[in-house]
Amino acid sequence: MMRSMSSDPVLVSVELRFVTTDDANQLGERIREAVHMIVGREALEDFRVKVLPLVPPKKPRAVE
């Protein structure tokens, strides 16, 4: 990894989205481990996995 000795630290945010039928939480853990290997465990500030269904609910919700 190329690092400049005189550069100030920066906070980097990376967002990605993908469609899968695999276990989303397991994939999230694999991605987290890859990031740890790239930047180091101490450098990772935050990591979140958010899973959203792509199919509509089977039953209509009541409207009040």
pLDDT exceeds cutoff 90 at 63: no
Q: Is residue 58 part of a domain?
A: no
Q: Is residue 8 part of a domain?
A: no
Phi-psi region of 59 (alpha: psi -120 to 50; beta: other; left: phi over 0): beta
| Cβ contact 45:36 at 8 Å | no
Domain span at residue 29 reads: 22-48
Cβ-count burial of 35 within 10 angstroms (0-12 exposed, 13-18 middle, 19+ buried)?
A: middle
Q: Is residue 2 part of a domain?
A: no
pLDDT tens across 7-57, in order?
899 999 999 999 999 999 999 999 999 999 999 999 999 999 999 999 887
Q: Is residue 35 part of a domain?
A: yes
Report how far residue 31's alpha carbon sits from residue 49's, in angstroms, rounded to the nearest whole number.
Answer: 10
Q: Is residue 42 part of a domain?
A: yes
Q: Is residue 41 part of a domain?
A: yes
Total domains present in the chain? 1
pLDDT exceeds cutoff 60 at 2: no
Q: Is residue 7 part of a domain?
A: no
Q: Is residue 62 part of a domain?
A: no
